[in-house]
Structure 1
Amino acid sequence: MDTQQNTALTRALAELPGPLPARGVVHIVIPHTDRFTVVGNHLAQHPGLSCTAIGIAVRIQSLPQGAKVGVKALAAHCPEGEKRIAAALRELEAVGYLHRLRDRLPNGRIITRTVFCNQPTALTHHPRHAAVPPHPAAPDPAPVPAPGLPAPALSPALAVPPPSVPTAPPPLGPAAPAPAPSVPVPHPTARKPPPPPLPHPREHTPELDRAATALLSDLRRNAPDLTLSEDASRQLTPGVAAWLERDTHPDTIRHTLTTDLPHPLRHPAKLLKHRLTHLLPPPPPLPHAHDLTAPTRPRTAVTPFQTCDGCDRAFRSPTPGHCRDCRETRTAYVQAAA
């Protein structure tokens, strides 16, 4: 049995297009045909949720409408204890995947509804999505007589008076809460905004064009999947030229475009356009920009060194002449002579 499994795994790996990554996980994707649940990467890769919370969220999302998702109900089917499940539910509630709403039924009873939203960010555009309209209990259907049998007599409390007899208005009481207005949910196939255009250099010089074309043609040496056609290389040249114009080293551009490539890579030109557009570095600072932003310091005048004309001793003075000792000696000599 082990040999058969290893053989099947080896065959599946051999059928993957492109070279296998040197490190990291290798995905063998087999499409599901039944019993599957679509889970967004915003949940599966959420940086602020624990793995327990993500697993509990996936389980809740896979359950049908009306299934019990309380702490005890989940603990009956999960190996985690009630404390870990309760903590995971609080995590999901903090980030918006889980909501607990208090609702009043037509009979006056207050219940708590548990609502799970698979895309919490969609609620930010329509805040009223979080309001769940009350679901009144459906009235019991009237009994239908069997064929050939007389209709059952209704009790006086349920009998409907004839139209000609006026009926008293119902007693006044607390009005039932009106159902919240429904908000149209955006269609899942709504048109997405167009992607940002490919960056272009401010001055498209022939030197930039030649350097960008050579860099794109050389990408296949590092990643064979990035073998581009002549038309695709011509379309991507302005984007690489914009990077070069911003003083980006060619090795940095090559590393950015060839690292962590998906397998299989079906559209290399689209991938390069996406990275050139969304990972564009900022322009270099303007010349002498540091003089404008750095705090100014008071400059201190430095007195230069001078050589004494009498004793050749070094001393600081703005003008050449004699040092202090020679000046004092000459002053004492003049005074004694006088």
Structure 2
Amino acid sequence: MGTLVGHVAPGFGFFIIGLWHLLNHIKNHAINPKSYTSLPWFPTSKIRYLELILIMAGCTMSIAMELFIGPDRHQPLDRDGTIPSNHLHNFEHSSISITLFMYAAFSIVLDKIAPPAQYGLTHLLGSIAFGQQLLLFHLHSTDHMGVEGQYHWLLQIAIFISLVTTLLDINYPKSFLNSFARSVSIMFQGVWLMVMGFMLWTPQFIAKGCFMNLEEGHKVVRCHGEKALERAKSLVNIQFSWYFVGVTIFSLSLYLIMIKLYSKKVEYQSLKNFEEQEEDNEDDVEAQKKRKLEEPRSTFLQMGKSFAPMDMESS
């Protein structure tokens, strides 16, 4: 993961999943605001488990890159079978991928079996995955004091929000705002991971007074002196705030657009159903009128027959 591609690829995955959840949560709430219920994942019409399959595929690729493809000898262990210090971060990143794979796999199993606690357990698995991610980034083996450490520290804020909102979904499945915040936090994780990839491993984007240095098999951003380091960290904080504002504006704009779009569809369907009901009522009224017009006529004929002239000859 300690490369541009190693951050951009998983970041794009988090962004797509977060955006997918955000779109579906807004759509469901717009169509059924009173009966809205938060879902941990969303099936597609053609392939029900597409979202979960993509998560498992991405996690498998990540584990393969971290442990077998990325290392020089295509395996992360030392000759004596121990984990060398320069591969500790590979095991940390792959552990996150393993937990996310476990979440997706058990989500499919729970959906097929459909136990009573299906959705609660699925949310719990998601919170375990985010908890594992938060723990490993908080105790990351890479530098905690440098520029990369500042990016990781701010990333933990987004992960923490994802963790808390996922746990709250267990007891508050009907809270749209909680689901909205969770989707935005997952999407923002992806955005920030992609920003990290470009800003830490693209030489022209490195802050003034800092440089790339090869340490223990991977490149790390270092700065000339404490002043340059503090300036670089401040720039990271400013980036975080700008991207956070940008994601917030994007999310709220998307909400307003989709609410307006799907509310019109719901109103149109309701109006159409109302018109059909009115037509049925009119048909019923016409039928009742016709019956009423026919009933007097038949009664009159019957009365005429009863008052017919008497047959004098027979009498």
Into which bin does the TM-score normalised by the smaller protein fall? under 0.3
Task: Pick the structure with more helix per residue.
Answer: 2
TM-score normalized by the length of structure 2: 0.23
Higher relative contact order (CA 8 A, sep 6+): 2
TM-score normalized by the length of structure 1: 0.22
Bigger radius of gyration: 1
